[in-house]
């Protein structure tokens, strides 16, 4: 038995020397302090403190997860402090999560994820290290970090272009805090430093973020390295997926490889090379060397002779193991060293990918160039059982990397035996190990073949599977032997032009000249005191002196120069396929792109009809106006599918646009009769108003945002609703609301092409002008655009109101300067050369001379025929339908006209007239019927004039009073 003295000595021996009790006498008053300090320093105290820190860390982690979940499931229509609604919240955390997410999104915007990151970092510190380290510094840094993060995002949004992305809160990406702070900072910075204030402010806020983030999170250096590696792995993950997809495209699916049949006995011929000459990826070596048998045996125990490396093929088919060798242990060579970074960069193509790709292909087809990464170097590794004996390998000294080949042989030996023996692969020509496999040259496209789909249009196909017409349908541009004007002739013409101007008393020098496909531009720098109007007025005289057809003179905007455009002796033709093959067309982001032609310098000119938003075209007969209209229509047909763009073609002349009849893009057959043209324009106005109501219900401003919202709703499966107030409850006085389901309808762009406006103005001038004006004024946001052409640009056809609402205009050659002033506001259109020569005036009165492309009738017919084979058009009969005459509403016995045998309808009329309230929910609630039936009854009452249509808040007025109802009842009794 241990005595008390012995127990005390053992306890003293267990405690460290610093915590052993001293030999001096302890007073009674100091006993409590000594016991407390010993308790705090005891192991039990430290253990409890660590567990409490871990619990606190887990609590912070749960809080961070809760905030993250509430933010990720945020819905701006959920009830919160800023939104009052009677619907149930869709947030995962309910009303609490919706309130927290709304507050963070409204105040901090995109930086609302910063509290989540900080709480996660704190939780890691408490769970991992059991201490936060300077908690007051962390807390203050976090409190400063949140508004600084919002300030950084708000500054980026106001400074950097292209950040105006859709955001559920009106405050923007930076939230209310970030936006207000960013505006104040930018105003102060730009006031002091001018244009450099924005960049300086952004750098300053970025520096503050760099300082506050480490202080707030409190992570160590090695922990930050781990965070960086994780982010780098996330960034590299899509690239690895893309690389795997490319490897599968080359070598086939890794799940069902077409393997070599070992029973065939046919050799697999390969170039003479050794494994030592092929560098393998480090990931391949790490994964496959780990699979080999750990038992290392001597290579002298080999049971079969090996071919010398100089004469052995790259790889032989695996031999069938003999029964008496199955129990023997196979030798294993040493694991090769992992390649260095320099070897990784300079390594040749991996031969494993070559071998597998060659096995899967026909022997007569040349193998493509192997990729650097093999299909075996993939995440889906082929696991080999440990009991599978490895194939006998040659000496490790001769083949330092033969272990990987061993693995590949074992993998091939596991292939299922095929019923049919495959044909042996054609041998490769002998090559050195350091040489890469030859890459077959791509086959050049053949222009001799014809038909659709031979050459796709230079842009991606629509998401719905629509394939645009083939460019092979267009005639390839012929080989032209025309050579532009030489430098000597240009200098001689410039000197001659100076002399001609001096003869007419105009002093100046020709400083620059640029030759184009049709005209050459000479820039004249006039002497001081020379008026531009004087030089412009000499255009006809200069043309006569230079013996050319016409000369156009105009000022060069932004420079002290006057441009003189002189036609070339030989005119080049601009072909439409050249415009579609250009890089500018392929890279165009326009919603409704138009290929107009080439400018004076020979550069392609493209325009976006969605930004114009309407186009007015004028030109005399033979000026190339009809060909230009065809080029615009074909531009739309080559880029947009019928789901994205629909056409309404109005052709009073019958011959110009009738060729497009029957293509899938048409909304109605080509309109050739003026009365139907009036109906089509009126329908376009009604469709514009309907689209505006739809966009107002979905709370978007233009058709692009509307279609984006519809795509998101279809992807998420949500059903949007609109809450409409229909009246007040007479008992409580509270407003009564109805939930209306909003339609999820994709809206295509609608392009109305009017080939001859003068003919329509002669038949129905007022109706046509009114409809065109309404479309020109309002239809841009609704996606309805008008291309209007006329060959008589007089003031009675192009009125002042029409001209004011068509800022973008094109003038082909006109007869006189008055018509040019009507269409452009200045002269110059009469000096054009015809055959597609045009003046393109964009918004802001900037005029550019463009040479339109040539399109033959055969090309148009070929494209139209190809489009007709892709699908039938879906016509809308309402486009050209005559307007129905509205019958006078009957305010008498509306019940008899609507449905005399419907007792429920009569009860509904009695209820509505007696209560003087009309709404779908009101009828549904009092008559206990379904919503659809109640809605049909309300629509029937509206058609019979018993109630009015819904106003802007959805409320209806009852047009029949109670006295009329009593009179109807008395008549029924009589």
Residues 551 and 688 in one domain: no
The residue from 567, 597, 630 where one domain ends is: 567
Return d(Cα 90, Cα 71) in angstroms, integer.
12
Is residue 205 a part of any domain in this protein?
A: yes
Cβ atoms of 399 and 276 closer than 8 Å? yes
Q: What is the pLDDT of residue 267?
A: 47
Q: What percent of the chain has pLDDT over 70?
A: 68
Mean pLDDT, rounded, of the chain: 73
Give the global pTM.
0.48
Return d(Cα 391, Cα 844) in angstroms, integer.
80
Is residue 202 a part of any domain in this protein?
A: yes
Q: What is the pLDDT of residue 747?
A: 93
Q: What is the pLDDT of residues 548-569, one digit of tens each?
A: 888 999 888 888 899 999 998 8
DSSP one-letter code for 743: P
Cβ atoms of 168 and 112 closer than 8 Å? no
Is residue 684 a part of any domain in this protein?
A: yes
Q: In the structure, what pLDDT confidence band is assigned to residue 186 with cuts at 50, 70 and 90? A: confident
Return d(Cα 385, Cα 399) in angstroms, integer.
24
Residues 186 and 59 in one domain: yes
Residues 682 and 821 in one domain: yes
Mean pLDDT in residue range 619-645 = 92
Q: Which of 55-59, 162-166, 188-192 has the lowest mean pLDDT?
A: 162-166
Q: What is the pLDDT of residues 843-855, one digit of tens each?
A: 766 889 999 999 9
Q: What is the pLDDT of residue 731?
A: 82
Q: What angle do CA 583, 584, 588 make, to 5 degrees?
A: 120
In which element (H, E) is residue 968 found?
helix 962-973
Q: Is the pLDDT of residue 19 over 50?
A: no
Return d(Cα 690, Cα 251) in angstroms, integer.
54
Q: What is the pLDDT of residues 246-303, one digit of tens each?
A: 777 665 544 444 444 444 444 444 444 444 444 444 443 344 444 444 444 444 444 4
546: domain CATH number?
Answer: 3.30.980.40
Residues 75 and 163 in one domain: yes
Q: Which of 25-29, 152-156, 717-721 has the lowest mean pLDDT?
A: 25-29
Main-chain phi, psi angles of 455, to 5 degrees: -140, 115
Q: Is the pLDDT of residue 784 over 90?
A: yes
Is residue 196 a part of any domain in this protein?
A: yes
Residues 516 and 662 in one domain: no
Residues 834 and 933 in one domain: no
Return d(Cα 966, Cα 947) in angstroms, integer.
17
SS3 (DSSP) at 735: strand
Is residue 864 a part of any domain in this protein?
A: no
The residue from 856, 877, 912 where one domain ends is: 856
Q: What is the pLDDT of residues 133-175, one digit of tens each?
A: 788 888 888 888 888 888 888 888 777 766 666 676 666 777 8
Q: In the structure, what pLDDT confidence band is assigned to residue 633 with cuts at 50, 70 and 90? A: very high
Q: In the structure, what pLDDT confidence band is assigned to residue 367 with cuts at 50, 70 and 90? A: very low
Q: List the beta bridge partners of residue 565.
A: 521, 552
Q: What percent of the chain has pLDDT over 90?
A: 18
Mean pLDDT in residue range 946-956 = 81
Q: In the structure, what pLDDT confidence band is assigned to residue 469 with cuts at 50, 70 and 90? A: very high
Return d(Cα 198, Cα 200) in angstroms, integer.
5
- Burial of 311 from C-beta contacts in 10 A (0-12 / 13-18 / 19+): exposed
Q: Is the pLDDT of residue 455 over 70?
A: no
Q: In the structure, what pLDDT confidence band is assigned to residue 639 with cuts at 50, 70 and 90? A: very high
Return d(Cα 507, Cα 490) in angstroms, integer.
20
Is residue 683 a part of any domain in this protein?
A: yes
Residues 643 and 785 in one domain: yes
Q: What angle do CA 935, 939, 941 make, to 5 degrees?
A: 115
Return d(Cα 292, Cα 384) in angstroms, integer.
9
Q: In the structure, what pLDDT confidence band is assigned to residue 645 with cuts at 50, 70 and 90? A: very high
Overall domain count for the chain: 4
Q: Is the pLDDT of residue 664 over 90?
A: yes
Q: Which of 51-55, 388-392, 675-679, 800-804 has the lowest mean pLDDT?
A: 388-392
Q: What is the pLDDT of residue 686?
A: 92
Longest C-alpha distance within the chain, in Å? 137
SS3 (DSSP) at 389: coil
Q: What is the pLDDT of residue 840?
A: 93
Q: Which of 389-393, 401-405, 409-413 has the lowest mean pLDDT?
A: 389-393
Is residue 405 a part of any domain in this protein?
A: no
- Which range, 100-104, 342-346, 473-477, 878-882, has the best average confidence (pLDDT)? 473-477
Structure-token pair, residue 90: 């869709």
Q: What is the pLDDT of residue 602?
A: 86
Q: Which of 166-180, 188-202, 691-705, 828-842 has the lowest mean pLDDT?
A: 166-180
Q: What is the pLDDT of residue 182?
A: 83
914: domain CATH number?
Answer: 1.10.10.10
Q: What is the pLDDT of residue 252?
A: 52
Spatial CB neighbours of 540, under 8 Å, sequence gap ≥ 6: 550, 551
Residues 844 and 917 in one domain: no
Q: Is the pLDDT of residue 79 over 50?
A: yes
Q: In the structure, what pLDDT confidence band is assigned to residue 690 with cuts at 50, 70 and 90? A: very high
Mean pLDDT in residue range 583-605 = 91
DSSP one-letter code for 575: B
700: domain CATH number?
Answer: 3.40.50.300
Return d(Cα 453, Cα 441) in angstroms, integer.
22
Residues 627 and 749 in one domain: yes
Radius of gyration over every alpha carbon of the chain, rounded to an integer in angstroms = 41
DSSP 3-state percent helix, strand, coil across the chain (nearest 5): 45, 10, 45
CA atoms within 13 A on the CB side of 972: 13
Q: List the beta bridge partners of residue 605.
A: 597
Q: Which of 23-27, 487-491, 689-693 has the lowest mean pLDDT?
A: 23-27
Is residue 931 a part of any domain in this protein?
A: yes
Residues 843 and 922 in one domain: no
Q: What is the pLDDT of residue 579?
A: 93
Residues 633 and 781 in one domain: yes
Residues 902 and 824 in one domain: no
Residue 548's domain comprises 487-567
Spatial CB neighbours of 507, under 8 Å, sequence gap ≥ 6: 501, 526, 527, 530
The residue from 545, 567, 589 where one domain ends is: 567
């Amino acid at each position: 038995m241990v005595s008390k003295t012995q127990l005390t000595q053992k306890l003293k021996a267990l405690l460290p020397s610093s915590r052993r009790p001293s030999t001096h006498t302890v007073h009674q008053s100091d006993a409590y302090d000594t016991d407390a300090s010993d308790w705090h320093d005891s192991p039990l105290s430290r253990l409890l403190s660590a567990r409490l820190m871990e619990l606190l860390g887990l609590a912070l982690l749960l809080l961070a997860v809760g905030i993250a979940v509430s933010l990720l499931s945020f819905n701006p229509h959920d009830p919160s402090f800023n939104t009052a609604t009677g619907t149930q919240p869709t947030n995962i955390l309910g009303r609490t999560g919706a309130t927290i997410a709304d507050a963070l999104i409204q105040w901090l915007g995109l930086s609302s994820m910063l509290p989540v990151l900080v709480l996660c970092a704190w939780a890691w510190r408490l769970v991992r290290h059991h201490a936060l380290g300077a908690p007051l510094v962390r807390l203050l840094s976090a409190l400063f970090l949140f508004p600084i993060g919002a300030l950084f995002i708000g500054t980026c949004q106001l400074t950097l272009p292209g950040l105006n992305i859709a955001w559920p809160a009106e405050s923007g990406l930076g939230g209310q805090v970030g936006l207000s702070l960013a505006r104040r900072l930018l105003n102060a910075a730009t006031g002091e430093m001018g244009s450099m204030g924005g960049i300086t402010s952004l750098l300053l806020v970025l520096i503050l973020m760099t300082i506050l983030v480490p202080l707030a999170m409190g992570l160590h250096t090695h922990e930050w390295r781990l965070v960086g590696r994780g982010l780098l792995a996330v960034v590299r993950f899509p690239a690895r997926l893309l690389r795997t997809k490319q490897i599968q495209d080359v070598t086939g699916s890794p799940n069902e490889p077409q393997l070599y049949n070992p029973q065939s006995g046919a050799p697999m011929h390969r170039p003479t090379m050794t494994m030592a000459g092929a560098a393998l990826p480090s990931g391949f070596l790490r994964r496959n060397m780990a699979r080999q048998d750990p038992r290392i045996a001597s290579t002298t125990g080999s049971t079969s002779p090996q071919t010398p490396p100089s004469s052995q093929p790259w790889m032989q088919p695996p031999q069938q193991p003999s029964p008496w060798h199955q129990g023997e242990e196979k030798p294993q060579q040493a694991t090769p060293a992992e390649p260095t970074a320099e070897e990784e960069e300079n390594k040749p193509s991996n031969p494993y990918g070559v071998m597998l790709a060659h096995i899967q292909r026909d022997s007569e087809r040349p193998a493509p160039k192997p990729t650097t990464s093999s299909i075996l170097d993939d995440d889906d590794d082929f696991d080999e059982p440990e009991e599978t004996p490895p194939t006998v390998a040659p000496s490790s000294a001769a083949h330092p990397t033969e272990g990987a080949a061993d693995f590949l042989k074992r993998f091939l030996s596991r292939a299922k035996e095929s019923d049919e023996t495959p044909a042996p692969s054609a041998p490769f020509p002998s090559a050195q190990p350091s040489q890469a496999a030859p890459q077959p040259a791509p086959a050049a496209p053949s222009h001799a073949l014809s038909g659709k789909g031979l050459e796709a249009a230079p842009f991606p196909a629509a998401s719905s599977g629509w394939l645009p017409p083939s460019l092979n349908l267009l005639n390839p541009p012929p080989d032209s032997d025309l050579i532009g004007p030489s430098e000597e002739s240009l200098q001689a013409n410039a000197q001659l032009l100076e002399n001609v101007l001096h003869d007419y008393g105009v002093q100046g020098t020709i400083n620059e000249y640029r030759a184009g496909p049709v005209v050459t531009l000479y820039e004249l720098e006039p002497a001081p005191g020379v008026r531009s109007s004087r030089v412009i007025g000499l255009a006809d005289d200069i043309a006569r002196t230079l013996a050319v057809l016409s000369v156009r003179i105009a000022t060069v905007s932004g420079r002290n120069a006057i441009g003189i455009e002189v036609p070339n002796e030989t005119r080049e033709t601009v072909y439409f396929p050249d415009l579609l093959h250009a890089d500018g067309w392929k890279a165009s982001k326009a919603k409704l792109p138009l290929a107009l032609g080439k400018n004076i310098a020979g550069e392609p000119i493209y325009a976006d009809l969605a930004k114009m938003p309407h186009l007015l075209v004028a030109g005399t007969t033979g000026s190339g106006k009809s060909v230009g209209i065809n080029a615009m229509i074909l531009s739309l047909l080559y880029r947009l599918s019928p789901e994205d763009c629909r056409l309404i073609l109005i052709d009073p002349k019958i011959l110009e646009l009738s060729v497009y009849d029957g293509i899938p893009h048409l909304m109605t057959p080509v309109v050739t009769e003026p009365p139907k043209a009036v109906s089509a324009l009126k329908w376009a106005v009604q469709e514009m108003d309907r689209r505006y109501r739809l966009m107002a219900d979905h709370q978007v401003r233009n058709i692009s945002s509307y279609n984006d919202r519809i795509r998101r709703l279809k992807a998420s499966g949500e059903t949007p609703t609109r809450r409409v107030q229909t009246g007040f409850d007479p008992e409580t006085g509270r407003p009564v609301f109805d939930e209306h389901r909003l339609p999820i309808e994709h809206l295509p762009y609608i392009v109305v092409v009017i080939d001859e406006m003068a003919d329509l103005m002669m038949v129905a001038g007022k109706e046509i002008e009114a409809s065109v004006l309404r479309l020109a004024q309002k239809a841009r946001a609704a996606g309805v655009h008008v291309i209007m052409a006329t060959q008589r640009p007089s003031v009675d056809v192009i009125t002042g109101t029409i001209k004011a609402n068509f800022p973008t205009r094109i003038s082909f050659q006109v007869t006189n300067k008055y018509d040019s002033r009507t269409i452009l506001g200045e002269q110059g259109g009469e000096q054009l050369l015809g055959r597609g020569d045009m003046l393109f005036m964009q918004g802001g009165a900037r005029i550019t001379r463009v040479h339109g492309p040539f399109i033959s009738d055969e090309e148009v017919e070929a494209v139209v025929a190809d489009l007709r084979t892709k699908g039938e058009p879906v016509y809308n009969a309402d486009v050209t339908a005559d307007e129905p005459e509205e019958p006078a509403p009957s305010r008498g016995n509306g019940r008899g006209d609507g449905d005399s045998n419907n007792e429920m309808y009569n009860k509904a009329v009695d209820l509505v007239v007696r209560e003087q309230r009309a709404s779908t929910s009101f009828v549904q609630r009092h008559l206990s019927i379904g919503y659809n039936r109640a809605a049909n009854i309300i629509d029937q009452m509206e058609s019979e004039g018993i109630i009015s249509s819904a106003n802007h808040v959805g409320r209806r007025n009852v047009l029949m009073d109670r006295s009329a109802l009593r009179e109807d009842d008395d008549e029924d009794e009589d």
